[in-house]
Amino acid sequence: MANNKSLLGEVWDFLKVRKAWWLAPIIIMLILVGILIIFGQSSALSPFIYALF
């Protein structure tokens, strides 16, 4: 039976095996920008987030 891993588990294994640690900051920034976009669309904090840019 196949080992079911989450997406984060697969990415972590990829980074460990391939020694691609330079990808970690890029992935972290993409996640943070995605969270910022989600909060910018649908929360009461939208005016404050837009003021940052």
15 part of a folded domain = no
Handedness of CA 16, 3, 27, 51 (dihedral sign): negative
Say whether pTM exceeds 0.85. Answer: no
23 Cβ partners below 8 Å, 6+ apart? 15
How many CB atoms neighbour CB 41 within 10 A?
Answer: 9
Q: Which residue has the higher pLDDT, 2 or 27?
A: 27
Residue 3 counted as domain residue: no
Range of the domain at 47: 21-53
- Domain tally, the chain: 1
Q: Is residue 26 part of a domain?
A: yes
Q: ∠ CA(52), CA(29), CA(50), 5° rounding?
A: 15
Asked if residue 48 is part of any domain, the answer here is yes
- Residue 37 clears pLDDT 70, i.e. is over it: yes
The continuous run of DSSP H or E covering 39 comes out as helix 23-42
